[in-house]
Amino acid sequence: MKKRHPMFYLVWFLVVLLIVLHQDFWLWGDATLYFGFLPSTLLYHVVLSLAAVATWWLATIYAWPVETIEAVKRETAGSSSDSRPSTPAQDAAE
């Protein structure tokens, strides 16, 4: 079995942590407004969404399957630029 980068396991830990943190039952009764208009639950989900973005970014760097990248490189190396489908703008120009 191929040895995985240690960050691979951190990414999976962060995914599970985000799933657990998404269950924000502790904020249901909180009516606090931040910045005078933003409810605490909405602010919490904004921060949670930014954490999800960072986790996905880490996943694409450290946990993305190398086999997928290599397969795409093989497919694109064998095709010529003429075999790409045309766009509607290219069809109209002809």
Digit-by-digit pLDDT tens for the chain (94 residues) are: 677 778 889 999 999 999 999 998 888 888 899 999 999 999 999 999 999 999 999 998 888 777 776 777 788 887 655 555 556 555 555 5
Does residue 55 sit within a domain? yes
Give the pLDDT of residue 35. 93
Does residue 31 sit within a domain? yes
Does residue 88 sit within a domain? no
Does residue 6 sit within a domain? no
Burial class (CB in 10 A: 0-12, 13-18, 19+), 18: middle
Does residue 83 sit within a domain? no
**C-alpha span between 1 and 56 (Å, rounded):** 25
Does residue 62 sit within a domain? yes
**C-alpha span between 44 and 32 (Å, rounded):** 12
Does residue 60 sit within a domain? yes
Q: Which DSSP letter does residue 63 get? A: T
Does residue 12 sit within a domain? no
Per the structure, the count of domains in the chain is 1
Percentages helix, strand, coil for the chain (3-state, rounded to 5) are 70, 5, 25
Range of the domain at 50: 24-68
Are 54 and 67 spatial neighbours (Cβ–Cβ below 8 Å)? no
